[in-house]
Structure 1
């Protein structure tokens, strides 16, 4: 092998060594190795499908082909219970290097568009040639959700069963949409729900307000997974959603739906992802939550919002209730996770949070009196506040706000938002 042919293998060796030396907290380790193992096994099971995708040198391809053909002949003579040898790594250095390089190139640094382009054909070939082993791979081999989604596998509470042909032949939905996780709201808005998720919800009986909330919450988690490929726990954290509540919504819906129903939910979420992708501009919901993390309605705005209403609706408690409502409207969030109810939207309930939560529920359910009037005013106010948030600058890379950012956000919004109600009222 000349120096030019050897170069990509030396580069791969260096990249692997660098990853092995990464600090333990680095998120790229160990997920890279999980995916590298999974794709290496997929290459073996689907061989020679990967050769139609990659430009491996003929000498290394021949070495890998000899290894795979030899092991297939040995496996064919073994009892099924002993066929694990097919997935064992090559013992010859050249074959091992060729296999690892193919797997690394197929992973394409985790780029979703590339993964979704190349993985379905490998999954189809693998499930055709090695059905049982492919099933064990997708059910037991750790891999990122990004890779799982690219393979067209069920995710978020699903498990691939015996009907693996459906996975590889397109009966399960795959998304070619590319969206950012910051474009995912904490709770799927009702208009999105009616367009894309209601067909799934209608199959659940009885359909209660609580069930609708579970569907909207699970939909947000699934959308975040499509955007990032991260597991549920990381998506819940990014959405500032308590992990226990996230798991509860998934578990409740999964228990009350069939595999076919669950695929309907996946199809709806992917249609929603395409809708978001096609928009000229989409709100940055993470940006809005960051700015409003410690926000409360400024006193002057509260006086304007409650002008002419009963004194009972103007007190401090009602102001907290209204702030939680505006926060939920402006961020498309779940008021149950409002910063006035839960610590940063994902921790334990704050003292008095339960009372505020009940106050919001009662306020939104009211059909008579001053509260429906105030609700209408709050909606206009929240819309203008959301527009103001979208116009503000948040430092790049600030996945979470620094400790004093909330205070600055409160001061900034309080100063700028004083005119929000007045402008809206004058229009």
Structure 2
């Protein structure tokens, strides 16, 4: 009996040691079957890391790309919950436990785009012809000079009412403007760094209607008047500086191409993969960027009607400014339906704005501002005309009260 009790005691000791070893091994085990609940998130969002074998009384460390540590807000045997930390960027997420670190997945961090910043080119010709690139804050009405341009660009700045076309290129955080008919002026909106692409060295080449599609490709209308007045629609590759002709236009369009410095307004319409340009004051020229197919919408058959400031909102609706000078100089802000070809007057403008409406071929720059559902146009060289597209409410920001200041190339980030 005594021997039996001794054997039982020894067996219990062995079993106890075995259990201790098993518990210790369990505590040292890295969680398994790990999956991240979201593929994309914003800073401050909660994400769940699912898995098996998390221990509620143990310490885990979750890090985002560039060693940014996340705060764990909840832990269970089957998951961890963390908050996406400030300054997190897209990339790998790692989990560290008991000096072991593993890549557990990838995530895309969605950054909120600041859309309250407008950019413009400013000229003061009172003394020394000062030309600047400025940022305008729609919330504070404050203007900030990002860089000085000198007089190397904008030979066409003082043209009779003509604006310039410009786009925001998110890949490089640059505003790209078409200046002097043949040059892309690129300015970084963070630090004001300037660079240029010369589109052509021929004095006979002119470009207009700079447009950016959703894939970051630039399109322009090109005119060569050396022989036969050749007019083309071209794509320009910002990476290779190569130009590709999409289609030839002939001379059926762009009576206003040779105007004194005036550009044309154009937009990219993703629903049909077309660039749509406002040409000859009353025609929408639509070009499929895949195959070069051309079609047109005649906005009005009246010789007294003129349109400017073509703008596309986020819902695919087109807006324009319309002038009829047959009787009483009527000026309206209108919506144009691309499906029905119907025009709707949103509001009447009177003659308080657009002193430059009757300029020799020059268009105006305008943007759609989604935060307030407004189309914002740069009119009379120094005024932002803001019109709510739902109810036609009009408001203005006077950029400068100095008669020597002029602005061009309105661009929204």
Settle same-fold status: TM greater than 0.5. no
Q: Which has the higher helix share?
A: 1
Which has the higher Rg, Structure 1 or Structure 2?
A: 2
